Structure 1
Amino acid sequence: MHRFANPARFLRLAKPLTPALFWPGLVLALGACLWGLFAVPTERLMGDTVKIIFVHVPAAWLGMGGWMGIAIASLVQLVWRHPLAGIAARAIAVPGATFAAICLMTGSIWGRPTWGTWWVWDGRLTSMLVLFFLYLGYIALANASSEKGDTSRVAAVFGIIGAVNIPIINRSVIWWESQHQKASITLGGSSIDGAYLTPLFVAVAGFSLLFSALVLMRMRAALAEMRIDARMRRMADD
């Protein structure tokens, strides 16, 4: 793990890896959305509105997965003091918040014709909204840190504690009476028709690659900013 703690070594890996993740991710994500929009048959009960699943589900997955990434990076920062862990956590926050917001917006659009309302205080929806606000709180804490390029210890602790909300989101449709449908994909199998399932997996893969590329871009930008700040301080001292 500490093998890539050296920023120069990390950048040598991240520079070619960023386009290698971004462009295939973009092709897969766009291709899956077009596949779902034009090639997938109309659903019997919900009609064409269900096709928003090809954006909504990847967004939900990455909103939750992004916070787990923050929690893991925060733990590594606090326990092992990995030099890049705080930078990674901070880099994940904005893309994670963006996908959480996309999940909420697409869910609201989907809910309007399905439930007859844009919003209900359902366990799944409410816990996802809490996740979005947790992202905003983490971003505020990270930006308030006095440590350039790294999150404060307070933000790292917040990132770990906030992970408690992830299993709540996941199990909310089981623990409480919910208008949101139960889990369609579990370890035991899937209740989604194969015509929808295949492009859905492609969409999840594509958006996940895009998410990873965005995180690497933000980490590279943060390291470049640190390098510029250090150079400016040296010039000011001279």
Structure 2
Amino acid sequence: MNVADDDDPPPIVVPEVTVTAGGAVTEGAGAVFTVAAEPAPDAPLSVNVTVGQDGDFGASTGSRTVTVGTGGTATLTVATVDDDADERDGSLSVTVDSGDGYTVSSGHASATVNVADDDDPPPIVVPEVSVADASIVEGEMGALSPLEFRVALSEASEQDVTVRYVIRSGTATDGLDYWGGTGQVTIGAGRTSGLIGMNVKDDILWEGDETLTVELTDADGAVIADGRATGTIIDDDD
């Protein structure tokens, strides 16, 4: 006599796959992710994932396959490269993609590990600033002639450089032979020089050549190297 079973087969339970992240790492270390299937599969389960990175840590990105064993979990380690370049901190991510034999968790389909850069920024190079001697023939350009001193940087700066100065009398007298005082000159970003100028007065007196001094007193964005220059007013009177 045949006896028929009247019970339905047990329902097929499809594992749900999640991914979680390990702790933050420093470049050169591996970022660890755990891929888990719940319930654990009866046989090894191939899970599709995508590795991504925010930053430049030499990680191998793109699609991969992770095998989850019957224990229910698998570890995925994504290697990073310890380079010598200073760069911003970033992250690595793993996202579970759809595949056969499992469903993707709606709440834990992606995980991120922060990656810290371990390189120091390059040293800030501060240019040196110097001022050069100058001369002008009295009356060369009329009643007032410009005496101009070239202020030069050792190299161009990425920002404006402001240099303050004072003009000191020597044998030339402020207010009689020239108009001086104090002031400042700004050398624009990307440039390497500027000018300090003053007016020299033409007179009819024979005085011989006369001198004055320009002294750089302070600078924003540069270090003063040669901060003194002599200005010579060449007499044109017989």
TM-score range normalised by the length of the shorter chain: under 0.3
If the length of structure 1 is used for normalisation, what is the TM-score? Answer: 0.22
Greater relative contact order structure (CA < 8 Å, 6+ sep) = 1
Greater helix content: 1
If the length of structure 2 is used for normalisation, what is the TM-score? Answer: 0.22
Greater strand content: 2
Task: Find the structure with the greater CA-based Rg.
Answer: 2
